[in-house]
Every structure is written in C-alpha cells, then in structure tokens.
A = this chain, B = another copy of it.
C-alpha cells in the first residue's frame, strides 16, 4: 500500500488529508478554494500550491473526489452509472498523471418514472463507501443531508439507487427570500421543541406547500416565538423529506453522513419518527478514498 493524498475538492471548499499506509489520517487541511474560485486552466497550479509538499513522496498516490471532476472542474470524469461499487469507481478513475493523480467519477442513476428522470452525485459516493467501511456494513440506507440531500440505497457493496431532495436549498430560499422571512428571527439558537413540532406538522395530511404557511400564521398569532420559527421551519422541511425517505424500504439503521449541525437534526427527526440511525462526519471521506486506493 502506497501513502495516499486524499482530496475532496468541492464547489466551495478544498480539503485534503495525508493518509498513512494503514489508513490513519496523519495530517489534514482545508482551504476556501472551491472550484468556483479557480479560473479555467488553473486547477493544476492551485493543486500544486497546496499539495506539492505532500506529493514529494515518490510513491504517493493522490485521489480527488468532488466537483473537481465535473465539467466545470479540472477535467471531466464522466458519471459512473448505478449500480456501482468500488470496482466500477476504480475502473472509471480519470488519471491526470499516470499512476499518480486521479479524479474519482460521480454516480448517475435513472429514475423509474415516465421521464426516466436522471439523478447525479459527485463527491458523496466516496463518503458513502467510507461510511460503510467504518460501519462494517455492505448494505444500508444512507442520507447525506445538505443543500441537496442524497438518499442512497446500497446493496452488497454497490449503490443501487439514489435520489436528491432540495431540502437545504429550499430552507435557505424560504428563510431569506420569502414572506416567511418577515416573521422569523434567524438569530435564534436551535430549539429542539420547535424543531420537533415542525417535524410533527410535516407528517399531517396535505402538501408541503400548505404546511409551510403555518410558519407565517403561527408567528402572526404569537403561537411560536420568532426566534423558534427557524427551527420549526427546519423541522417541517426535514420532516417532509423523511415522509418519503426513499424509493424502497429502509435497510437497517439509516446512516447519516454530514456536519455535526445537520446530523444532529436528522438524528433527532429520524428517532422522533421511530427510525433507527447512526451518524458519521468528515472521517467518511478519508475512509472512502483510502478504501478506493486499496481497491484500485
């Protein structure tokens, strides 16, 4: 096994870790150099700026996941169609420097609806495989909350299906740009009671488009304090996402992968609705890239 330079190069940040031959994280770093900040043709320069020291090791292998492999990134590593596991990811690596630096492809899957609506992910696939390694499982339902949450089914080590929910983005739009923003006070701390009231409210009959209006009227009628309304809205949207968690049924405890803030909320909501879960943070990315390096 060679020393691994693991990189997660996303839309808004660039993270790296130097991984020992046994998989341990020796050193890690993060820069505000997401792909949106990199002019076309400058990816190699930015990479060298931050990682040339680590790349000195003559036998170092570097794997880069995330949006750096998109059409707007360093080079395009075309989506790998589902079902896909480590083997398929390894086969579709896009080598930038032979046997030294490779981009990890994202995954695509086709919906079973009338339009065969496609879905895509890029960066999450590595976290998924990493979390499964850490959990010692090869089949699971996973959720990766965020701007665009991903719900993922893995069977026998391969992603069979996934779908994207725009939960985080819709929360941002509603709290910042909608009429709901007029009554809610975003300076308030997270309030668990209001959050779970939102989760409960979302489980009722009727559409999210209706449930959302409660944020306004409960505020207007002084039934929920302005500082608790952001937590209520968050519960409403996460609860809506959990109302229809995935195309097929949950496989064992749901694995939640993300930042502490988000995994806390999803854990609270899942448990409140009677669904078992366990959570993972940034370590999933490094474990995933390490496992991929071992397999490829």
A interface list, Cβ under 8 A from B: 111, 113-115, 117-120, 148-149, 163-167, 169-170, 173-174, 177-179, 197, 200-201, 204-210, 212-214, 217-218, 220-221, 223, 237, 240-241, 243-244, 247
Instruction: Please give the distance in Å from A162's CB to the nearest CB on chain B.
Output: 11
B contact residues around A119 at 8 Å (CB): 213, 217
Counted per complex, copies of this chain come to 2
Known: A117-B217, A209-B237. 17 other contacts (CB 8 A): A111-B214, A114-B200, A115-B214, A118-B223, A120-B217, A148-B213, A149-B209, A163-B210, A166-B178, A166-B212, A169-B178, A170-B209, A170-B212, A205-B247, A206-B247, A207-B244, A209-B241
Q: Pick from B118, B178, B209: contact of A165, CB below 8 A.
A: B209
Say whether B174 contacts A210, CB under 8 Å. Answer: no
Known A113-B201, A179-B169: A207·B210 in contact at CB below 8 Å: no
Can you list 6 contacts pairing A with B, beta carbon distance less than 8 Å?
A114-B201, A117-B201, A165-B209, A173-B177, A177-B177, A205-B247
Residue of B nearest to A71 (CB): B220
Most chain-B Cβ atoms within 10 A of its Cβ — which of A117, A164, A237, A241?
A117
Residue of B nearest to A179 (CB): B169
B contact residues around A205 at 8 Å (CB): 244, 247
Say whether B174 contacts A213, CB under 8 Å. Answer: no
Say whether A206 contacts B163, CB under 8 Å. Answer: yes
